[in-house]
Structure 1
């Protein structure tokens, strides 16, 4: 399957050959200048990425980039993932590389906090409210109807509409309503990923990583790092920056000043060599004694299905299966040696103190 970046680059080149430009000056009669002017009234116009992200979400000419089973005739504006928006802005509009996905806090979150972006999810051929499965390829965004109405309204009209829309009471009511319908939609979709992340902390870490405490748990599509997590990381002397490899779970042992990363896999995202490299650099940057890694799966079938095809688990890391929770597996290589370290007992690779068997 072709990467979305390559598909969008090809689309850009094809449009330039055909039309002389990759995107029109306006979508639904709305130009970037109009978007910028509207956002300036709510102090968001200085964010060029956000301006272009909003412009992208007005695109009712490009067919949906969502996976199979998207609604018939769906357009980009009907729902686009973070990666899709990043490609629309960075590649289709600008002819560069896609925006950094971790930067969504800058080009999605500011408007989402006001209810201008709605979180939606592609389920059985229809878009439903919320992100019941965080980090799912079916999680998407669209412009909230009232905000889109402001953008397409005539000059002299949209200004009053925006003032009413942006009032504190209206914003609060809008966010409460979005949260309510998203909560109702959760029952339609099994959140296996969220459940696995929870089990990885409550069951796996509690048994196999005694002394470690959770600093960060990426189990939602809300704030990337909550205020509580920022405080916990500050106490541990670490900070996740834009560009860091965001783990599903980041733990810390105060006694040994050692970190541990957990990646919970229901579709993809194992601890591979890239994750190990980036998080090792993260630990070294913050002066930590080291970092360990575990990939968790729901079942043996899930693990076999993924590794039978991808075989991407990094050497010197662990695997834990929720369906067989009493053991963890160490991924060694032909040159793995057995040795003791100062803070962990190692049996052909690192095992958390007290759990060697």
Structure 2
């Protein structure tokens, strides 16, 4: 069985969470089909997410389709939480970019596209909301080619022109095409991996139209990565559970990791958790390609690598607005600073700074909604 890590990304309101819900329901990973407007989507279980109807924190779910075990990472779509989205990109094998058939390619869609290019992630495109009577498939595809990449193709209609155009990518493809007048799937898979080809699919997540076709085609055009035997891991997220335990989210990029393993001098693996939604199961060992959560690490930070992953990955996006946090006079400063310290571990891009002399707290943020979310987190 192929094992991959898949990220789902979109501009806010493109229907990303609805598509995620449909995928999990059709794959029988969840029993009931939730909805954003009903406040019961499987992965948007945080109170603030349900109240606002948006994804704020990246979360994962595991499902099977055909011969694939897929760890799906749902990411925030709102621009205010794009640094949270970017942190997941360093561990993805593939990505699905969701585009609204009503709104087309948005400015933030282009930002996401540039990030996918920066991290060199093979990308499939799902154009959602095609049940709307005003959507035009040909116009949308033309817009994708113009604003994202010329190599965006409708994979529901692979005609002779498609094969001829793809054959122009390189001499090997061209030679094969001239001899056989077509291209085998294996060659198309390699072009997708090299980001020289971007399969596009159309449907409606809300009405679950075209989802099963998309999943069938998607799983037939992906390839499992080959990993080295030496241990390696990439950390992409820090969080805390309800008991206050520090949780380190990572992908194993080589070898294996077992419980009770010692990492360096000071870090020990107390638990290995495999999350799906807000529930998890404990395992004794994880292997290359797995996404897991470690309880026990104390000082390892997001972006850091372990073992063969020595390089620290620096994010592309950074908050551009500096704010001063003003607390009520009767507020407990020490308690607030403790909460902010935990938040700084979870989101290093906040750049929380406390000046002892002036007793001023400064934080860097992306926008108004993030300000409101931060207020609720430290209250």
TM-score (norm 1): 0.25
TM-score (norm 2): 0.24
Q: Which has the higher helix share?
A: 1
- For the pair shown, the structure with the greater C-alpha radius of gyration is 1
Greater RCO between the two (CA within 8 Å, min separation 6)? 2
Q: Which has the higher strand share?
A: 2
